[in-house]
Amino acid sequence: MFALYKKEIQSFFYSPFAYVLSALFMLIFGFAFVNRIASMQSSVFQFSFPDMFYNNFFYFVFIIPLLTMRSFADERRGGTEVQLLTSPLTITQIVLAKFFAIETVFLFMIALSMFFPVYISLHGTVIWSSLICGYVSFFLWGTVCVAIGMLFSSMQSSPIIAAIIGEIVMEGFLFLDQFAATKMVESYPHLNAVITWFSMQRRFVFFAQGMFRLEDLVFFLTLTVMVLFWIILHIEKRRWSHR
């Protein structure tokens, strides 16, 4: 399993892929950061980073599918899927190796973004508790999106189509809150409750306020595990219906 993980990591870092995406990520973060500073009222730099994370997420959902689009679609297109599935690795091991590889790249991006709070801490004050909560929630939210992106990649043989579908679905998740707040959905309390429960945004707000709720942690982790399980089932199902 480690061999596959290593190969995946290499495919990101031996090509410009991880660097270009990280640069894009830093660019978006940098813009948000500069905007934030420009709108500061006080002379002391003290602002909440989770707010920045929150604003960033709308752009970030465009980066994650680019990271995940090749994971399975490329293997299928290049005929290397046969090699993976005829190797002694189980499908679960294959999915987990790929998942952890993408998570590693994601963590690399997050680590790069730490430049901003470090810079602030040199010239102003950072609220560490809210910063840590912000990072944790950003990571958890991103992890769910990675799993969803991989799911669509496993369903497609074209990486681009996988990326586009992934983006649409992730944007859909972001607007779940607004959808729940519409009059139509509000008139059905049960439907409203279900949709609100799935809303990641609402949970993000708790984190942003520096509240670390076990309920939210469980939510993000179970959702990730469920989607990963779905990927495993989907690949297994495709083996059976393969022509």
Partner 1 sequence: MVEVKNLTKHYGRVTAVRDLSFEIRDNEILGFLGPNGAGKSTTMNIIAGFLPLSEGTVTVYGHDIKEDARAAKRCIGYLPEIPPLYPDMRVEEYLRYCAGIKGMRHGEIKAEVEKVMRRLSLIDMRRRLIGNLSKGYKQRTGLAQAIIGDPKLLILDEPTVGLDPSQVSELRKLILDLGRDHSVILSSHILGEISAVCSRVVIINKGELCAVDTIENLERKASGSLTLNLTVEGAQADVSRVLSEISGIKETDEIADSEENVSSFKLKLEDEKVRQEITSALVKNGLNIVEMSMERPDLEKVFLELTSKKAPKDNADNK
Positions in the binding site for partner 1 (CB under 8 A): 2-4, 6-7, 10-11, 14-15, 78-90, 239-243
Query: Least distance to partner 1 from the beta carbon of 224, Å?
Result: 24
Rounded Cα distance, 68 and 39, in Å: 35
- As to burial, measured by CB atoms within 10 angstroms (0-12 exposed, 13-18 middle, 19+ buried), residue 215 is exposed
In the complex with partner 1, the residue whose CB is nearer, 8 or 216, is 8
Query: Least distance to partner 1 from the beta carbon of 51, Å?
Result: 39
In the complex with partner 1, the residue whose CB is nearer, 39 or 240, is 240
In the complex with partner 1, the residue whose CB is nearer, 100 or 179, is 100
In the complex with partner 1, the residue whose CB is nearer, 2 or 43, is 2
Query: Cβ(133)–Cβ(207) under 8 Å?
Result: yes
CA dihedral 194, 195, 201, 206 (to 10 degrees): -30
Rounded Cα distance, 53 and 203, in Å: 13
Query: Least distance to partner 1 from the beta carbon of 15, Å?
Result: 6
In the complex with partner 1, the residue whose CB is nearer, 183 or 243, is 243
Query: Cβ(204)–Cβ(128) under 8 Å?
Result: no
Query: Least distance to partner 1 from the beta carbon of 95, Å?
Result: 14
CA dihedral 3, 159, 172, 228 (to 10 degrees): -30
Alpha helices in the chain (DSSP H): 2-13, 17-38, 49-68, 70-78, 81-86, 91-113, 115-123, 128-155, 159-174, 176-180, 183-186, 189-198, 200-208, 214-241
Query: Least distance to partner 1 from the beta carbon of 90, Å?
Result: 7
In the complex with partner 1, the residue whose CB is nearer, 21 or 200, is 21
In the complex with partner 1, the residue whose CB is nearer, 81 or 216, is 81
Query: Least distance to partner 1 from the beta carbon of 240, Å?
Result: 6
Rounded Cα distance, 206 and 216, in Å: 9
Query: Least distance to partner 1 from the beta carbon of 63, Å?
Result: 21
Structure tokens at 2: 């480690």
Rounded Cα distance, 160 and 107, in Å: 23
Rounded Cα distance, 231 and 146, in Å: 12
